[in-house]
Structure 1
Amino acid sequence: MWIMQNAFLILAAYLIGSITTAVLVARALGLPDPRSQGSGNPGATNVLRLGGRKAAVLTLLGDMFKGILPVLLARGLGADDGTLAAVALAAFLGHLFPVFFGFRGGKGVATGLGIYLALSLLLGLALALVWLAMARLFRISSLAALSAAVAAPLLTWWLLPGRPFLLLSLILAVLLLWRHKDNIQRILAGTEKRIGEKA
């Protein structure tokens, strides 16, 4: 029974993560498909460029909720730390590779933040502050996300002790860096778009 429950939680987390908020918001508001317009990334930053603040906020909140809900559900059912980490990773992978949208997902920044907030409110807020500070300083969303990703394992080690969570933070950091490889090249070249800049 315990094994079946954990398997269900992990599968449910992946399916919840697979709901691509940006595409649903774009369809609801009559906006272009963010996977084929702008940067091509179905995330809040691209939706901001394509449809403005309302669409971006809805996308951000939806993507965060995809990380929060599965972790809180698993915790509420008494999952141990290893299962919580596996559920969190499944939700993140669902966002990156959504089964409902041809496995063409986003980069995981907002969903990752939701995961960290659900695991530890203090950790999530600390990472949000890192993102906000870098975004305010440089006005580049991807650079802010990369900074938070790099900071996550250290902050996790400090604020959320436990080997499963440290391993989770390392995996999420690697995945985020990999998904931002094109952004890294543009940052180094000085051609990365700034927050709010039109597509």
Structure 2
Amino acid sequence: MIAMVILMVGVAYLFGSLSSAVVICRLYQLPDPRTTGSKNPGATNVYRLGGRIPAVLVLVMDILKGTVPVYIGYWLNITPLALGFIAIAACLGHIFPLYFGFKGGKAVATAFGAMLPIGPELAGLLIVSWCVALFIWGFSSLAAIVAVALAPLFTFFIKPAYTLPVAMLAVLIVVRHQANIRRLMDGQEPRVWDKRGKLKNNN
């Protein structure tokens, strides 16, 4: 079983290393998201660079990067704690992609995908939390931090055995948002929409 866990951790990292934002931007002939806009290769930055369709494709691919390896591990009856390491490996692949110079994104969507095997209840609560936080404050980064911070609490009431793995994942994502937290505190973090309530799109 240990060998299987090590194998799945490696697979998860390699799978997570597929930078969806870079691939989609190249397909749509958009600027490199690692050097343009917020310089974060994620769906939000791709939305600003190319609009809804490329952003949705990036979001779906990033979610699947977390869901697929964790679902496989779940199907193989790997323990909850080990599944947590597989989920973290997928996120680390997104953050430090092997194929793209180890320069990746925040791994929010990948972490969300990794939590999906826990059940639709958790997924629904995370989506609602993100949407409410985004509606109130207008910051995608803050909405992600709020949702991921609540994830261990939600998990405790849904499937307690997965609370620790989800907490480990949550810590990783919050730490990854250190720069965003500093910009939020300094009042320099960009909003998803402008003051008129319209979604921002640089095209």
Could you tell me the TM-score, scaled by structure 2's length? Answer: 0.91
Tell me the equivalent position of 1:179.
Answer: 176
Task: Quote how far apart the aligned CAs of 1:73 are.
Answer: 1.0
Residue 49 of structure 2 corresponds to 50
1:170 aligns with 2:167: yes
Partner of 1:77: 76
DSSP-derived class of the 1:150 partner = helix
The residue aligned with 1:197 is 200
1:78-133 deviation digits (Å, cap 9, x = unpaired): 22222222211111111111111111111011111111112222112211110011
- Counterpart amino acid of 1:170? A
Shift of 1:198: 4.3
- Partners of 1:72 and 1:55 lie apart in 2 by 25
What TM-score does the superposition give when structure 1 sets the normalisation length? 0.92
Which whole-Å CA distance do the structure 2 matches of 1:109 and 1:169 have between them? 13
Q: CA deviation at 1:157?
A: 1.6
Q: Is the 8 A contact 2:81 2:165 kept in 1?
A: no
CA distance in 2, matches of 1:86, 1:171: 9
Q: Within 1, Cα distance between the matches of 2:75 and 2:168? A: 24
Partners in 1 of 2:186 and 2:81 — Cα distance? 40
Cα distance in 2 between the residues matched to 1:176 and 1:85:
13
Match of 1:160 in 2: 159
CA RMSD in angstroms, aligned pairs only: 1.4
Look up the match of 2:131.
132
1:18 matched to 2:14? The reply is no
What is aligned with 2:142?
Answer: 143
Deviating beyond 6 angstroms after TM superposition, the runs of 4 or more aligned structure 1 residues are none
Q: Which amino acid aligns with 1:172?
A: L
Identity within the alignment, %:
43
CA distance in structure 2 between the aligned counterparts of 1:182 and 1:153, rounded to whole angstroms: 23
Give the aligned partner of residue 62 of structure 2.
63
Structure 2 CA distance for partners of 1:168 and 1:146, relative to 1, 3 Å: same
Secondary structure at 1:39 match in 2: coil
The answer for the alignment partner of 1:89 in structure 2 is: 88
Q: CA deviation at 1:179?
A: 1.6
Cα pair 1:140 1:194 within 8 Å, conserved: yes
Give the stretch that moved more between structures: 45-54 or 78-87: 78-87
Q: Deviations over 1:2-24 (max 9, x none)?
A: 33222211111111111110000
- Gap regions ≥5 residues in structure 2: 193-198
CA distance in 1, matches of 2:118, 2:9: 15
Unaligned runs of 5+ in 1: none
Q: Is the 8 A contact 1:20 1:42 kept in 2?
A: yes
The aligned counterpart of 1:32 is 31
SS of equivalent residue, structure 2 residue 160: coil
